[in-house]
């Protein structure tokens, strides 16, 4: 039995929440592709510390984990789904675009929508060819603009964070700055307007 198989077995046999966290941390640290399925399954165990360790492990593995992350999204457990979206957002592979778009716009769980909104701004669009890239960026922009008017303040907050990241793309800066001005003029929440001011400062610094 390989070391990874043993570590996978340890996760399966952990019989306390603390043991589970320790076993998942060790499995994540092994950085072995063979661990991907097990790490994703951890999202469904209702053990937040273990899930956070699994997200970190999958993020370190990076692109190689993306196909399984996309294939194994749990449609029946929004807690697990939020961790999958966080991992996809952190890896930032543009193959996750469609899932992030749909999750940001239509998932019923705010935790999933927030994670997707943040992720939409950070995708590594440069991995796409030029026509695909422009289409993908336009879709990400459109969805973030749309949810920046959501009734839930936390979704609007996440949309601002996503838009700030997207503003690194020079062609998108103008519409994003216009949207920021609109939010400053219309949003009733001080917290949202302050976050827009922060985004404006940081966009100016980076451009």
Partner 1 sequence: MIEPSAEEYLQENAPPLTKEQAIANLQSPDLSLRYYAAWWLGKFRVRDRAVVDALIVALEDEADTTEMGGYPLRRNAARALGKLGDTRAVPGLIQCLECSDFYVREAAAQSLAMLGDITAAPALMQLLGGGVAAAVTVPGRPHLTQPYEAVLEALGAIGATEAVSLIEPFLEHPVPRVQCAAARAMYQLTQDTSYGERLVKVLDSSDLKLRRVALGDLGAMGYLPAADAIANAKVENSFKLIALKGLLEHQLQQELDVSSFGEDALRVMNLMDSLL
Binding region for partner 1 (CB under 8 A)? 48-49, 110-111, 114-115, 117-118, 153-154, 157-158, 161, 190-191, 193-195, 197-198
Q: How far is the CB of 68 from partner 1 (least distance, A)?
A: 23
Task: Give CA separation, 78 vs 24, 43, 52, 71, 82, in Å.
Answer: 21, 10, 15, 15, 6
Residue 12 or residue 194: which is nearer to partner 1 going by CB?
194
Task: Give CA separation, 15 vs 18, 33, 92, 149, in Å.
Answer: 9, 25, 34, 45
Residue 8 or residue 158: which is nearer to partner 1 going by CB?
158
Residue 105 in contact with residue 147, Cβ under 8 Å? yes
Task: Give CA separation, 200 vs 42, 91, 108, 169, 204, in Å.
Answer: 38, 25, 30, 14, 6
Q: How far is the CB of 95 from partner 1 (least distance, A)?
A: 21
Residue 102 or residue 194: which is nearer to partner 1 going by CB?
194
Q: How far is the CB of 197 from partner 1 (least distance, A)?
A: 4
Tokens describing residue 118: 């943040």
Residue 4 or residue 111: which is nearer to partner 1 going by CB?
111
Q: How far is the CB of 100 from partner 1 (least distance, A)?
A: 13
């Amino acid at each position: 039995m390989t070391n990874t198989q043993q570590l996978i077995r340890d996760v399966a046999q952990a019989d306390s929440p603390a043991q589970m966290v320790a076993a998942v941390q060790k499995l994540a640290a092994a950085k072995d592709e063979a661990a991907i399925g097990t790490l994703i399954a951890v999202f469904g165990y209702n053990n937040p510390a273990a899930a956070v360790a699994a997200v970190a492990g999958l993020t370190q593995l990076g692109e190689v984990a993306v196909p399984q992350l996309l294939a194994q999204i749990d449609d029946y457990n929004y807690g697990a789904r939020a961790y999958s979206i966080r991992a996809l957002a952190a890896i930032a592979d543009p193959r996750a675009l469609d899932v992030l778009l749909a999750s940001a716009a239509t998932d019923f769980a705010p935790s999933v929508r927030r994670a997707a909104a943040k992720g939409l701004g950070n995708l590594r669009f440069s991995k796409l060819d030029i026509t695909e890239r422009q289409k993908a960026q336009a879709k990400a922009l459109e969805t973030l603009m749309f949810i920046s008017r959501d009734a839930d303040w936390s979704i609007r907050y996440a949309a601002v964070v996503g838009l700030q990241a997207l503003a690194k793309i020079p062609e998108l800066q103008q519409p994003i700055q216009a949207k920021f001005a609109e939010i400053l003029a219309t949003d009733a929440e001080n917290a949202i307007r302050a976050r827009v001011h922060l985004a404006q400062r940081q966009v100016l610094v980076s451009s």
